[in-house]
Amino acid sequence: MVLVHSLCKRSDFKAAALKGKKLFSPSFILQVLKDQPSAGVSVGITASRKVGNAVARNRAKRRLRVIIRLFAKDAPQEGIHCVLVARREVLTVPFQSLCEEAKKAFAWAYGI
């Protein structure tokens, strides 16, 4: 089990978006950047105004935080930055389906 940290700096989010590999799922986009000088896995969440108003964006981020607690800790190595970008569908998809998407996404991310 690996430590999970939060990404806080805008530069870390931008680096994952520009240099990282991306996986597009119906509910979110996972951006992964490997070989970073950090202990554990660093994870960030973002939701743009396309998701909805502030209430909808906060709900989307809460759902993705639970996904991170369930699946991000299973990383086989350290030094990975992951950014989850919420899509509008994250609000309406059943949670079980969201978990299945996330399980596949994080398995892909750790297998790169």
Tokens 């989850």 sit on residue: 84
Question: Closest by alpha carbon to 7, among 55, 34, 45, 61?
Answer: 45
Q: Is the confidence at residue 45, as pLDDT, over 70?
A: yes
Query: What percentage of the chain reaches a pLDDT higher than 90?
Result: 60
The enclosing domain of 101 has a CATH number of 3.30.230.10
Mean pLDDT, rounded, for 85-101 = 96
Q: How many residues does the chain have?
A: 112
Considering its fold, how many domains does the chain have in total? 1
- Structural domain of 18: 4-111
Instruction: Give the pLDDT score at 79.
Output: 80
pTM of the full predicted structure? 0.89
Gap between the Cα atoms of 47 and 93, Å rounded? 16
